[in-house]
Structure 1
Amino acid sequence: MFRRPSITFRTMAFVAIVCLGLLAIDGWNSWQSRTVQLRQMNVAASNLARAMAQQANDTLKAADSALVGIVERVEHDGTGPAAVERLRKVLGAQVDEFPQLDGLHIYDQDGNWVANSRRTPPQNLNNASREYFIFHRTNEDRGPHIGIPVKSRTSGELLVPVSRRINHADGSFAGVALATIDIDFFMKFYGSLDIGEGGAVALVLDSGTMMTRRPFVAEMVGRDMRDTGLFRAYAAQGGAGAAFIKSAQDGTMRLNSFRRLEDYPLFVSAALSKDETLAGWWQETLWHTAGVMVLALVVGFVGWRLVKQFELQIKTEDELRHARDALETLNKTLNTLAMEDGLTGLANRRQFDVTLDNEFGRAMRNASTLALIMMDVDCFKQYNDIYGHSAGDECLQTIGRTIARVAGRRPGDLAARYGGEELAVLLPNTDVAGAVVLAERIRSAVRELKIVHAGTEDGFVTLSAGVDALQPLPGAAQPKELIRAADQALYAAKAGGRNRVCAAMRTVPA
């Protein structure tokens, strides 16, 4: 009842399905590539915001720390002529110590200048009308106050004021201690950030006042940001978050990653242009689409030719077999070459195992010794818990480079990542004493990196090492015995308090 479709129809239907499949796969791959690009954009913006928040917090912390000591000195020593002269020297020394400080100033209860850090003190200067002075006069809060940006009456520079209240002995208002930070200090740091041509970064008070921004426009400093999409997104998401927002300043659509400072009522925003980020993706997608369309036309033409010249099928199958064989050969070659750990750049476990067997056999034939150092980063799990896995990866990379530098002086030595945070160094023609010396150099070099680790007693990242050496004899020791002994020595180093080198209790034959 039904006619079987002709070979022409079946071939053309197959070609059509293939072409549509190519287009669908290319479209899916392009969309996935776009998703990855936006995810990387989000990570980059988040990292920028984190760095900006840390820089701003540290900068304000330095200024506030100086103010704490100044307030205590003024409240204790008073503001007599001798005390003021001593205070002026202290203020100058503080400014010299902290480059982020533009100046330190003391004002009495009426806003009159008492002392400051400048070599040439201003005359008849009264700041009673300043926002920060009014705040402290009307608020008994003894904590720091970050005021709205002001223009210096002496230098004309835009400054960020950080202030604290000074009290009389009875708790009444006695004046204000003020630290000023040049906005240019923040701008120099922001200028070092790679945000592209369309990116923007900003520092904003929780109250909505713009402190500074890159690209810098002087009129933006002090502007009320409460009606902007950025501030609404920040208020809605809390201390940290991200959102695509169309800029109220230049109309550019950006991914804004914002983060509140840890100790002060401000937040930072790092924004990357969506169009700029996706420009490369668009170009690549257009090339892909054009290529796939050309490929689809070629496939259609080949399909039509198959109907006329069916013998091309055999040739095509042969070519596919050759391509498959070439791919298998290439995969085998890549597997052979895949002997390096992708994170640390050291030899991977596979290369270590192969080299251990080879060196073990060579040591047996030559009646020489073979030493092994097994190392483990101390408290590495706590490091990941405290600083995150990304920081943990960077830590392992730094340690890997250090081990490669210290242990890679002889051609036959092999430094490898044994697994996780465990590392190993294989040393042909080396006894226990020589291996212990090298292990101590590695341990000391890692400690000298001074990688901060709040989870250790020392406060820095350290490693422990276990050392063993043997002279293989036929039918006696096996490679696993060397690993086991070095591992036991490593365990002893860990049990003994970490950040140390222990040698296995073994006697190496002469």
Structure 2
Amino acid sequence: MFRRPSMTFRTTAFVVVVCVTLLAIDFWNSWHSRTVQLRQMNVAASNLARAMAQQANDTLKAADSALFGIVERVEHDGTSPAAVERLREVLATRVEEFPQLDGLHVYDQDGNWVANSRRTPPQNLNNANREYFIFHRTHEDRGPHIGVPVKSRTSGELLVPVSRRINHADGRFAGVALATIDIDFFMKFYDSLDIGEAGAVALILDNGTMMTRRPYSPEMVGRDMRETELFRAYTAQGSAGMAYLTSAQDGVTRLNNFRRLESYPLFVTAALSKDEILAEWWRETLWHSTGVLLLALAVGFVGWRLVHQFQLQIRTEAELRQARDALETLNKTLNTLAMEDGLTGLANRRQFDVALDNEFGRAMRNASTLALIMMNVDCFKQYNDIYGHAAGDECLQTIARTIAKVAGHRPGDLTARYGGEELAVLLPNTDVAGAVVLAERIRSAVRDLKIVHAGTEDGFVTLSAGVDAQKPVPGAAQPKELIRAADKALYAAKAGGRNRVCSTALPGPS
């Protein structure tokens, strides 16, 4: 029911499987390498965010620690001229101890400067309108407050304010202690980080206010980030997380890893460009994928050539089989033509001689009898003279068909045209009596054809037959003796008046 696939199909399928497997393995390896690369860079970005968060937390804690001591001193010692002078010295000392601090300041309840860390205090400046001052005036919370970035009214630098509320003894608002950190302090640290050409890092308040960012731009400081994908991802994932985001600032897609500061309401984000992360992977993938593709093409080409050779071989074999079959058919045809009489369709003289030798030898081996009937159409030359050779040929063909019909019942019997109008029937395993009976039937059948022949006494075509049978003895008899004996009996039939059967054993007519 199921035919076995051809060699061409199996070879083609094998080549296709090999090529597809090579490409599939290369694709899987490339994709796995990409996944590993992204995972490693995610770990690197996470470590970067952790370091940034720790740096920002330590910086703010140092400023807050200084503020805590200042608030306690002011609330205890008051703001008398002597106390303010001592306070100014303390503020200056603290700024020298902490390089991240730009300055330390104390304001009274109306926003006027009470003391600061600078050697020359500013005159007639009031900070009551600053965000951090308004916050402490309206909130009783004593904890640190990280305000929105401000521009210094003395130096013009962008600063990060860290402040605490100062109270009177009865709890009323008494002023603000302020520590300012130059944004450049954070930028120097961020500039030391290896984030690539298109990477970005940022420090952002929990309320969405941008504190600073690398790449740095003054316009970015203080920008509201609440509507960005980054801020939404941060609020959705909690204190730490990661996401692939397209920046609202420059449109670059980055791997963002963000982390909230441990003690303060800010978070940092370390973002590495996805294109830069995968740049090396793309180069390697291009090289080895090109190599694998060329290898697959080479395998495919060799396979195609191999399949082509198979097809050529199969086509050649098919043509050879066709040529062999045609040659066998031709040989059979030639053999048939060589063994068959062209006019009557009976065996020719050559086939008769071969069959006689074979049957004679078989009769000798089997100690059986071989009979032969030799026949001749009576007055056939006159028939040709009277009716023409075409009619003679037709007459001979009709007689041949009749003899073949009467004598052709046994597979071993052979009816042949011996020559001219002379015909023969070879009968293995037949004695003289049996051969005579068959010869008489043939003679009678021919006479019953009633083929008109004006050259005979009877007026119709007849034939005469001579019959002989022998039981060959090794070394004593030859096939030609059987022919001579049957031919002799034929002449006896002719001499006896024609239209009769004679045999050597029964010399008289049948």
> In structure 2, what is the Cα distance between the partners aligned to 1:91 and 1:234?
37
Structure 2: which amino acid aligns with 1:103?
A: G
| Corresponding position: 1:61 with 2:61 | yes
What does residue 100 of structure 1 align with?
100
| Corresponding position: 1:285 with 2:273 | no
Offset from partner CA, 1:249-272 (integer Å, 9 cap, x none): 111111111100000000001111
> In structure 2, what is the Cα distance between the partners aligned to 1:94 and 1:51?
25
Offset from partner CA, 1:152-210 (integer Å, 9 cap, x none): 00000000000000011111011000000000000000001111011100000001100
> Post-superposition shift, 1:289?
2.0
| SS in structure 1 at match of 2:125 | coil
What does residue 109 of structure 1 align with?
109
Structure 1: which amino acid aligns with 2:64?
A: D
- Structure 2 unaligned runs (5+)? 311-510
What does residue 250 of structure 2 align with?
250
> Post-superposition shift, 1:305?
5.5
> In structure 1, what is the Cα distance between the partners aligned to 2:110 and 2:267?
32
Over 6 Å off, 4+ runs:
307-310
Give matches, 1:175-254, under 5 Å: 175-254=175-254
Structure 1: which amino acid aligns with 2:158?
A: L
> In structure 2, what is the Cα distance between the partners aligned to 1:115 and 1:147?
20
Structure 2: which amino acid aligns with 1:244?
A: Y
> In structure 2, what is the Cα distance between the partners aligned to 1:300 and 1:85?
90
Offset from partner CA, 1:80-112 (integer Å, 9 cap, x none): 111111111100000000000000000000000
What does residue 154 of structure 1 align with?
154
Give matches, 1:448-463, under 5 Å: none
> In structure 2, what is the Cα distance between the partners aligned to 1:58 and 1:31?
40
| SS in structure 2 at match of 1:123 | coil
| SS in structure 2 at match of 1:128 | coil
> In structure 2, what is the Cα distance between the partners aligned to 1:296 and 1:242?
39
What does residue 71 of structure 2 align with?
71
Give matches, 1:85-96, under 5 Å: 85-96=85-96
> Post-superposition shift, 1:282?
1.6
What does residue 170 of structure 1 align with?
170
Structure 1: which amino acid aligns with 2:87?
A: L
> Post-superposition shift, 1:291?
1.1
Give matches, 1:397-436, under 5 Å: none
What does residue 82 of structure 2 align with?
82
What does residue 262 of structure 1 align with?
262
> Post-superposition shift, 1:307?
6.3
| SS in structure 2 at match of 1:60 | helix
> In structure 2, what is the Cα distance between the partners aligned to 1:70 and 1:226?
34
What does residue 33 of structure 2 align with?
33
Question: Mean alpha-carbon deviation: is it higher for 84-93 or for 4-13?
Answer: 4-13
> In structure 1, what is the Cα distance between the partners aligned to 2:2 and 2:72?
101
> In structure 2, what is the Cα distance between the partners aligned to 1:4 and 1:237?
61
- Structure 1 unaligned runs (5+)? 311-510
Offset from partner CA, 1:454-477 (integer Å, 9 cap, x none): xxxxxxxxxxxxxxxxxxxxxxxx
What does residue 44 of structure 1 align with?
44
Structure 2: which amino acid aligns with 1:49?
A: A
> In structure 1, what is the Cα distance between the partners aligned to 2:4 and 2:147?
85
> In structure 2, what is the Cα distance between the partners aligned to 1:163 and 1:38?
41
Structure 1: which amino acid aligns with 2:257?
A: S
> In structure 2, what is the Cα distance between the partners aligned to 1:231 and 1:304?
58
> In structure 1, what is the Cα distance between the partners aligned to 2:192 and 2:24?
42
| SS in structure 1 at match of 2:133 | helix
Structure 2: which amino acid aligns with 1:211?
A: M
| Corresponding position: 1:126 with 2:137 | no
CA RMSD of aligned residues (A): 1.5
> In structure 1, what is the Cα distance between the partners aligned to 2:294 and 2:304?
15
Question: Mean alpha-carbon deviation: is it higher for 118-127 or for 89-98?
Answer: 118-127
Matched residue count: 310
> Post-superposition shift, 1:304?
4.7
| SS in structure 2 at match of 1:16 | helix
> Post-superposition shift, 1:44?
1.2
| Corresponding position: 1:14 with 2:2 | no
What does residue 375 of structure 2 align with?
none
TM-score (norm 2): 0.59
Larger Cα Rg: Structure 1 or Structure 2? 2
**What percent identity do the matched residue pairs reach?**
84
Structure 1: which amino acid aligns with 2:51?
A: A
What does residue 297 of structure 1 align with?
297
> In structure 1, what is the Cα distance between the partners aligned to 2:147 and 2:43?
31
> Post-superposition shift, 1:144?
0.2
> In structure 2, what is the Cα distance between the partners aligned to 1:155 and 1:304?
79
| SS in structure 2 at match of 1:245 | strand
> In structure 1, what is the Cα distance between the partners aligned to 2:305 and 2:200?
56
> In structure 2, what is the Cα distance between the partners aligned to 1:262 and 1:285?
41
TM-score (norm 1): 0.59
